[in-house]
């Protein structure tokens, strides 16, 4: 199936938007605790240097 450049750009834009939305959803929900813990550990490591 041949697609025009405009159609490909629209498809890519939709995929990128969906990906960003999904990432934001994960960061706000189940991953929030893990991300916060990682930041605390990194801060602790940087203080030791």
Query: Which pLDDT belongs to residue 44?
Result: 85
Q: What is the pTM of this model?
A: 0.54
Q: Could you tell me if 40 and 33 are in contact, meaning their C-beta atoms sit under 8 angstroms apart?
A: no
- CA nearest to 21, candidates 5, 13, 35: 13
Residues in the chain, overall count:
49
List C-alpha distances in Å: 20 to 10, 17, 27.
15, 5, 10
Per-position pLDDT tens, the chain of length 49: 688 999 999 999 999 999 999 888 877 777 778 888 888 988 888 776 5
Across the chain, how many H-helices and E-strands are there? 2, 0
Locus of tokens 């939305």: 21
């Amino acid at each position: 199936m041949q697609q025009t450049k405009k159609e490909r750009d629209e498809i890519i834009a939709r995929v990128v938007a969906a990906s960003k939305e999904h990432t934001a959803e994960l960061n706000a929900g189940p991953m929030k605790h893990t991300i916060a813990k990682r930041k605390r550990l990194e801060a602790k490591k940087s203080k030791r240097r």
